[in-house]
Amino acid sequence: MAQLAQLLRIRLASEQAKARQTISPTILPTISPQGSSGDGDLLTANGLSSQPLGATRGEFNSPSKSAPLVGTATLELADLPLHQQIVRFAQLAKGAGCQELKLLPLFLLRGVHVMEDIPWQVSLAQQKLGSEMVIHLLPHLGANPALVRLLRNQWAKLDGDAKILLSHGTSRPGVQEETGAVANQLGAVAADWSVQPSLWEQVSIIANSGAKRIAILAYFLFEGRITDAIAQMLLEIQQKFPQVQLNLGKPIGVSEALVDLIMDGIRQQ
């Protein structure tokens, strides 16, 4: 998260500089220059038991006269609940001259966290802040149609006769259909970690159909406990189907392409 936030600050600063050189800057509103009105941007994600990116929970950069104000917060495994993290960042943003705060959920699926938990936490934060700061809750990252293009690039790194898009899964109605639609665009079938259809089921069906190589793309943002568990499960599945080569791809991870998606998101109002 820390690395991702830093890349976003660099990109925002670059666009600020370009906007100042144009007659009618329309690319992006001015982001939190100290002493003038603007926006602060807060990325929120699920908590990770390990922090491979060297992130600190609830990390905010100090305001400066030129640097964009970008912070990160987590829904779980943080010292403070999300709404308190939001209030803390909003107070920092207010001190830098900001009047509005954009919050972008770094989630791929429209599950309970996105539809219930985060909006509730945002409402608590807004109640605490009152009229001194307006919070704009943006659509979650997975709602961006351009995500499919990023996933296609991920597929290009994998070898397989058949493809499985493996997501966390959720029991919330309609989400599996959305994941299935993404998988269809990628020429893959969908599997879920927490609900049916499982990875075991889909590998079994594909293996019994005669495929010799199966590419499995982990539909996750970052590595963590679940992706580690998936890799372990895949070893067990491989023993069950020794005639099939199983190739597991990495999660999306931090990249300029991911920053592009986030930039698309924070441009929305």
pLDDT of residue 66: 53
**Cα 139 from Cα 156, distance rounded (Å):** 28
**DSSP sequence for 92-138:** HHHHTT--EEEEEE--SS-SHIIIIIHHHHHHHHHHHHGGG-EEEEP
pLDDT band with cut points at 50, 70 and 90 for residue 164? very high
pLDDT band with cut points at 50, 70 and 90 for residue 53? very low
3-state secondary structure of 3: helix
pLDDT of residue 13: 80
More confident site: 40 or 126: 126
Residue range 103-141, pLDDT digits in tens: 999 999 999 999 999 999 999 999 999 998 999 999 999
pTM above 0.85, yes or no: no
Mean pLDDT across 162-173: 93
pLDDT of residue 260: 92
pLDDT band with cut points at 50, 70 and 90 for residue 226? very high
Q: Which domains does the chain have, with CATH numbers?
A: 2-142+254-267 (3.40.50), 158-248 (3.40.50.1400)
Residue range 174-186, pLDDT digits in tens: 889 999 999 999 9
Could you say which DSSP state residue 62 is in? P
